[in-house]
Amino acid sequence: MEVFPRMDPEALRGADVVIGFPGPGLVGGIVVESLVEELRLVPVGCLGGTALPPQALVEAGRPYWPVLVFARPGFAVIKAEADLDGAAAHALGRAIAAMLKRSGVRTLTLVDGLPGVEPGDAGHVWSASSDEALRARYEEAGALVLEEGAFGGGAAATALWAAEVGLACGYLASPARMHLPDARSAALVLDVLARLYGLGIDGRGLEQKGEQLELAWGRLMDEAQAAVAQEPRDANMYS
């Protein structure tokens, strides 16, 4: 399996990079999309190859591979639209780590949701890193140390291969719902990133959007249940 960059690696030299993979609450993707919007990051390329699913993302009439890279001087984000497991995850993680190392990236942070914990539980962001300096920076930015836990897929593979090539890498994650977008958890992670890298943004706007979407979703569910309750039932169905 092959993975290759479709970009100029120099666009990432000296940058702090944030990566979001699909995961609990879609936290990684929500955070990355918010950073692109708030910081007005511009697309600088993508990653492709046989390890990735046969998907094409279309923007402005042009198809792209499903791992997109956005950047500005000193800061960049990567959004993976499809998660992977097994050998494909390792192929993608190894390629990303190698590309970032060659590009002279300063740090790599993977953002995600924590599964198996109620959303908003204690309202914390948890961190993990094998790099002592980066771990200390996470704590200074307000993240707690995750003493025990597990991550999987492309995010885990990328973190493991980043450590192998000597790239300072770590996790920031907040408890999130498994099957619904969790903007509140994403807002918590966004706030820590803003403090960590001095981005001058906050997660309040993102959290408000999430609350509005949840209210709208709740109304739709109530209306759907009411409509079902009012439908006449065929007696033969229950005979």
Q: Identify the band that residue 120 occupies on the pLDDT scale cut at 50, 70 and 90.
A: very low
What residues form DSSP beta bridges with 43?
Answer: 70
Convert the pLDDT of each residue in 164-195 to its tens digit. 999 999 999 998 877 778 888 899 999 999 99
Secondary structure (DSSP) of 123-139: G--EEEES-HHHHHHHH
**Local structure of 60: helix, strand or coil:** coil
Q: Mean of the per-residue pLDDT values for the chain? A: 84
The more confidently predicted of residues 4 and 67 is 67
The more confidently predicted of residues 151 and 229 is 151
Q: What is the separation, in whole angstroms, between the first and last Cα of the chain? A: 57
Compute the distance between CA of residue 33 and CA of residue 87 in angstroms, rounded to an integer. 27
The more confidently predicted of residues 224 and 217 is 224
Residue boundaries of the structural domains of the chain = 3-203
Residue 51's pLDDT is 82
The more confidently predicted of residues 143 and 123 is 143
* CATH number of the 3-203 domain: 3.40.50.10900
Residue 4's pLDDT is 81
Compute the distance between CA of residue 229 and CA of residue 98 in angstroms, rounded to an integer. 57
Q: Identify the band that residue 236 occupies on the pLDDT scale cut at 50, 70 and 90.
A: low
